[in-house]
Structure 1
Amino acid sequence: MLRNFLTYGLSLALLQLLIACNPAPVDDTTAKTASGETESAPAADAKGDATDAEILVVAFGDSLYAGYGLDQNEGFAPELQAALRAQGKDVRVHNAGVSGDTTAAGLRRMDFVLDSLPRKPDLVILGLGGNDLLRGLKPADTRANMDAMVKKLQDRDIPVLLTGMLAPPNLGAAFSDEFNVIYPALAKKYDVALYPFFMDGLVGRPRLFLPDGLHPTAEGIDLIVGKITPQVVAVLEG
Structure 2
Amino acid sequence: MMTKSLRYYCIPRNFSTLLLSTAISLMLFSCGQKQEQSTADSTTDTENTAQENVENTTKSEDKKVILFFGNSLTAGYGLEPEQAFPALIQKKLDSLNLDYQVVNAGLSGETTASGDSRLEWVLERQDIDIFVLELGANDGLRGIPTEETNRNLRSMIAKVKEANADAKIILAGMMVPPNMGPEYSNRFQKLYPAIAEEENVMLIPFLLQNVAGETELNQGDGIHPTAEGQEIVANNVWQVMKDAIEEIPNS
The verdict on a shared fold, with TM-score over 0.5 as the criterion, is yes
- Tell me, yes or no, if the aligned pair for 1:107 and 1:149 is still in contact at 8 Å: yes
| Greater fraction of residues in helix | 2
Residue 15 of structure 1 aligns to which amino acid in structure 2? F
Distance 1:90 1:4 in 2: 35
1:34, distance to aligned residue in structure 2 (A): 5.5
| Map of 1:124 onto structure 2 | 131
Distance 1:140 1:96 in 2: 25
Aligned CA distance change for structure 1 residues 186 and 3 (closer, same or farther; 3 Å): closer
| Map of 1:37 onto structure 2 | 41
Once the two structures are superposed, the pairs formed by residues 1-238 of structure 1 within 5 Å of their partners are: 1=14, 2-19=16-33, 35-40=39-44, 41=47, 42-52=50-60, 54-117=63-126, 120-156=127-163, 157=165, 158-238=167-247
1:94, distance to aligned residue in structure 2 (A): 0.2
Structure 2: gaps of 5 or more residues: 1-13
- Tell me, yes or no, if the aligned pair for 1:62 and 1:101 is still in contact at 8 Å: yes
Residue 146 of structure 1 aligns to which amino acid in structure 2? L
Distance 1:12 1:195 in 2: 19
Tell me the alpha carbon deviations over residues 93-139 of structure 1, each in whole angstroms, 9 at most, x when there is no partner: 1001000000001000000011122xx21010001001011111111
TM-score (norm 1): 0.87
Aligned CA distance change for structure 1 residues 50 and 237 (closer, same or farther; 3 Å): farther
Where 1:46 maps in the other structure, the secondary structure is helix
1:47, distance to aligned residue in structure 2 (A): 4.3
Q: Percent identity over the alignment?
A: 31
- Tell me, yes or no, if the aligned pair for 2:40 and 2:108 is still in contact at 8 Å: no
Residue 136 of structure 1 aligns to which amino acid in structure 2? G
Segment of structure 1 superposing worse, 7-16 or 163-172: 7-16
Distance 1:51 1:134 in 2: 36
- Tell me, yes or no, if the aligned pair for 2:77 and 2:108 is still in contact at 8 Å: yes
Structure 1: gaps of 5 or more residues: 23-31
- Tell me, yes or no, if the aligned pair for 1:122 and 1:159 is still in contact at 8 Å: yes
Distance 1:33 1:147 in 2: 29
Aligned residues: 226
Residue 101 of structure 1 aligns to which amino acid in structure 2? E
Where 2:131 maps in the other structure, the secondary structure is strand
1:159, distance to aligned residue in structure 2 (A): 2.0
1:84, distance to aligned residue in structure 2 (A): 1.6
Aligned CA distance change for structure 1 residues 182 and 94 (closer, same or farther; 3 Å): same
RMSD (Å), alpha carbons:
2.0
Tell me the alpha carbon deviations over residues 174-231 of structure 1, each in whole angstroms, 9 at most, x when there is no partner: 1112111111111111111111110011123211101110001111111111232132
| Map of 1:27 onto structure 2 | none
Distance 1:34 1:212 in 2: 10
Aligned CA distance change for structure 1 residues 34 and 215 (closer, same or farther; 3 Å): farther
